[in-house]
Amino acid sequence: MTIEARLFATLREGRGKVLKVELGDGATVADLAGRLSIDRKDVAILLVGGRDARLDRPLSDGEIVSIFPPVGGG
């Protein structure tokens, strides 16, 4: 399946902003983070389809995952 990973702030360094990632069936957000070499401690806000998600959330084809490191307020 293909997942759209949207990365923000410092997570973009060396990775890019928006990536299409191919993952096997049953893969979770943690697998996606692993594929992108993103450390768990750098995942502060995690959204799947704009809703809060956890790393063990299984993914389905076409979903959008947004990952933010610890960032700011306003």
Partner 1 sequence: MYGYNGKILRVNLTDRSIKTEALDEAKARKYIGGRGLGTKMMMDEVDPSVDALSPANKLMIVTGPLTGTATPTGGRYMAVTKSPLTGTIASSNSGGYFGAELKFAGWDAIVFEGKASAPVYLNVVDDKVELLDAGKLWGKVLSETTDALEQAHGDKARILAIGPAGERLSLLAAIMNDRWRAAGRSGVGAVMGSKNLKAVVVKGSGKVAVADEAALKEAFAVCMKKIKDNGVTGTGLPTYGTAVLVNIINENGVFPTNNFQESVFDKAEEISGEALAEKYLKKKDPCFRCPIACGRYCEVDDIKGGGPEYETIWAFGGDCGVSSLKDVIKANYWCNEYGIDTISAGATLAAAMELYQKGLVKKTEFGDGPELKFGNADSIVEWTKRMGAGTGFGAKLAKGSYRLCESYGVPELSMTVKKQELPAYDPRGIMGHGVQYATSNRGGCHVRGYMISPEILGLPEKLDRLETAGKPGWVKIFQDFTASIDSVGLCLFTSFAMGADDYAALYNAVCGTKITGADFVTSGERIWNIEKQYNLAAGIGPDQDTLPPRLLEEPVPAGPSKGRVHPLSQMLPEYYSLRGWDAKGIPTKGKLSELGL
Using the rule CB under 8 A, give the single segment among 23-31, 32-40, 50-58 that binds partner 1.
50-58
Decide: is 10 part of the binding site for partner 1 (CB under 8 A): yes
Shortest distance in whole angstroms from residue 39 CB to partner 1? 13
In the block, tokens 């997570």 appear at 11
Interface with partner 1 (CB under 8 A), residue from 16, 44, 60, 62: 44
Strand order in the sheet with 51-52: 18-22, 2-7, 64-68, 45-48, 51-52
Among 11, 9, 13, 6, CA closest to 72 = 9
Could you list the residues that contact partner 1 (CB under 8 A)? 6, 8-10, 12, 17, 44-45, 47, 49-52, 66, 68-74
